[in-house]
Amino acid sequence: MGKVYEAEERLSRRRVALKVLRPELGRSEDARRRFLDEMTILAHLDHPNIVRSLASTEVDGELVLALEFLDGETLRQRLSARGRLPWTEAVAIAAEVAAGLTAAHGQEPPIIHRDLKPENLMLTPTGVKVMDFGIGKVLQAMRKGTTGSVGTLAYMSPEQIDAGAVDHRADLYALGLVLYEMIAGQPPFQSESPRQLLEMQCTAPPPPLPDDARVGLPRGVERLLARLLAKAAADRPASAHEVIAALEPFATADSGASGSVSLAAGAGAASAAPAAATITAAGSRPDLPRQAGQPVVPRLDTIALIDRASGPRQISTRRAIGAVIALCLVTAVATYVVRSRWTAEAPVTPPAATSR
């Protein structure tokens, strides 16, 4: 969409990011008006999971955004360096993205991203930041005057491809694609042909996750993933807040090393603060084998407690024998006490007199 520069405010000496948008976005008066209106709305959207828009202006015919400067890496950079992510880390990232979407979709009118993808998600030491909100709406309005697609083909919802009505559920579909890619290590739909890729997005069911990616993955996450990737918008979750509620039971976090993110506390609220925490190793399901070389980690998360409560209880032979002996001793003592008390309280009958 343009170029981004690191800059410094002259008075405050604050580091900022200056995004200079493509020249075609500012060629018409209508385009400039739409851009400035949209950026004005974003300037009032203050949420820890959305990059802050500090100012918007026009300089020598070019539209410029001043954004908060972020230290970190994009999700695309992390996926390129590490490949598939642990499901706990993927769930935490998706939950924070959903928190940002909740705040944006809750505006009046709702702010729809329209181009959610790993390149637009910045991972920082304090949490996930969703970038480039609002630009999709400007591009949508200018579609007839631009040659670029509104959104990235690999992350476009079926209704976007069909030029249908687009609402907040288009962002949820894109979030499902991103979550699938984090867990599987690759997008669900891939093709060198753009036409075939668009056809797959509109008609093909998402392929099952690879077997090795499903090791330890809770069924609830798989069910949510299937709902997010539903072709019909009506079959997806009703809101990003519903996505947060579905992911929250599976978020496990520990305040340890840096370099990852956790589920933000109160993620559904606009004033929620991101937790500066990291992701621990994933728990596992008892019905799935552990990967070779995977360390055994104490499972203290919600899933472990549920599995432990619903699974059969097993005790060792030594404990069983000890329990039986203890039970026998308790029974013997109780019997002795009862009999002693009964003997002490029983009336004494004098012997019958005899006649000679």
Instruction: Give the ranges where 44-167 is alpha helix by DSSP (H).
Output: 75-82, 87-105, 135-141, 158-161
Residue 50 DSSP one-character state: B
115 noted as active-site residue: yes
Annotate 302-337 with b (16+ C-beta within 10 A) or e (fewer). ebbeebeeeeeeeeeeeeeeeeeeeeeeeeeeeeee
Phi and psi at residue 75, in whole multiples of 5°? -60, -35
Closest C-alpha to 211, from 187, 171, 184, 186: 184
Torsion region of 238: left, alpha or beta (phi above 0 gives left; psi -120 to 50 gives alpha): alpha
Contact 283, 301 (CB under 8 A): yes
Which is the catalytic residue, given 46, 60, 71, 115? 115
Residue 26 DSSP one-character state: G
Structure tokens at 147: 């040659």
Separation CA 21–CA 4 (nearest Å) = 9
Separation CA 88–CA 301 (nearest Å) = 11
Q: What amino acid positions are annotated as catalytic residues?
A: 115
